[in-house]
Structure 1
Amino acid sequence: MSGSRDNTVVEPNWSGWNRQRLTQVPAGVLPWLRDEGSLTRRVVAACSGRFRVRLLRQAWGTPFYSEAQLLRMRRGEMALVREVELLCDEVPWVFARTLIPASTLRGAARRLTLLGDKPLGAVLFSDSRIKRGRTQVARLQPRHRLFSAASVDLQPVPDELWGRRTLFHVSGRPLLVNEIFLPRIPMEKTS
């Protein structure tokens, strides 16, 4: 199997809102996907119990094909990959995968390597040097690697998950945040 064909099999079809059929998105997930504020802040507000971030993994790794394209990374270039769950009363509501190219981790941005179990959103939405770029959404299915990473601890494993990814710029340099909404997140009414 050729490299490009393999990548199309394992990646969801990310698209902007203008190309996404909103009728496919479950109504209760739509407000979560469309929100442009801090997801951490919104989850904390919706969680009537104890909120926390669980760090699953943080290590240097190779981005997925579409992640590398969006980050404009060269083939083989490494990024810091951070995977966490946002929990309410120890129940995972969101799986997040952040990719920070090595070239982004200069100067004050190096502090992003030290977050541990602290929420990234607290940094992204409080630093004026960080600018939010475009957001894409996708329906994730079991054949997608990101679906597998997000659902590894879910029982039963759902048929699909919905997520978004947002490109941020730290002093002009990119970082990518994938946020996958898990089945136990409260479904919200659309406005």
Structure 2
Amino acid sequence: MTSQHFLPAILHDQTLYQGGGGRVPPYQIPRSYRDWLLDPDSLTQRLIRESGGEFRVELLRQGHLSTTAQERDALALGLRTWPFLREVTLRCHDQPWVFARTVIPTATLMGPARALTRLGTKPLGAVLFNHPHVRRGPISVYRLNASRLSTVFAHQGLLWGRQSLFYLYDKPLLVSEYFLQRCPMYLLDQRKG
């Protein structure tokens, strides 16, 4: 998949929950989605469990690329910085369940953290949730139109996503996870319809 499929900016329609700050209460998130969206544990491990081990990472693109204004604000980056960006789909039963986007400032990539640029198809969660010097910040929840993620996902309509800062050796990286329509998170709603 080539990078032209991806739009340069992800614009969140509405911040529905800003973890930690408490600006918007979590009850605005549908009850059936809260368990997925507010879960502080490894999404990778959850997907492996949910799929009975039928899980893999598909690398879409990576490199020192431009970011959105929201991502630069979250990481306190300057306008002319080119952090390392990685986009993947987390696939279960060979279906895309999650689109994930990670932004890593150059300053974070010093020393052993440089290995994050060479993950390939290894899940980032396998590193972050097994590293003794990683901590996670609050989770923010968003609802957005899938066409703002990528033309590849445009047909999926409104999606839910979450974002949080992780700190590796006290240096930040931003992880965004957008739950695609094949994800079982939406299963309860599909049964009602």
Residues 125-163 of structure 1: CA deviation (Å, up to 9, x unaligned): 1111111112111101256x3xx32xx4348x1320000
- Percent identity among equivalent residues? 41
TM-score using structure 1 length: 0.83
Supply the AA of the counterpart residue of 1:153: V
Residues 48-102 of structure 1: CA deviation (Å, up to 9, x unaligned): 3521000001111121001101101111111111000111111011100000011
| Equivalent pair of 1:96/1:180 in contact (CA under 8 Å) | yes
Structure 1 runs, 4 residues or longer, greater than 4 Å off: 21-24
Which residues in structure 2 correspond to 1:18-97 (within 5 Å)?
A: 18-20=22-24, 22=26, 24-48=28-52, 50-97=54-101
| Equivalent pair of 1:79/1:99 in contact (CA under 8 Å) | yes
Q: Note the residue ranges of structure 2 that are not aligned, 5 or more in a row.
A: 1-8, 189-193
Aligned residues: 176
Partner Cα separation in structure 2 for residue 68 and residue 47 of structure 1:
34
Give the Å deviation of 1:9. 9.3
TM-score using structure 2 length: 0.82
- 1:153 alignment counterpart: 152
- 1:167 alignment counterpart: 165
Partner Cα separation in structure 2 for residue 13 and residue 127 of structure 1:
32
Q: Note the residue ranges of structure 1 that are not aligned, 5 or more in a row.
A: 1-7
| Equivalent pair of 1:20/1:137 in contact (CA under 8 Å) | no
Q: CA RMSD in A?
A: 2.2
More helix by share: 2
Query: Counterpart of 1:66 in 2: which secondary structure?
Result: helix
| Equivalent pair of 1:81/1:98 in contact (CA under 8 Å) | yes
Change (3 A) 1:10 1:186: closer
- 2:180 alignment counterpart: 182
| Equivalent pair of 2:38/2:139 in contact (CA under 8 Å) | no
Give the Å deviation of 1:22. 4.5
Change (3 A) 1:64 1:9: closer
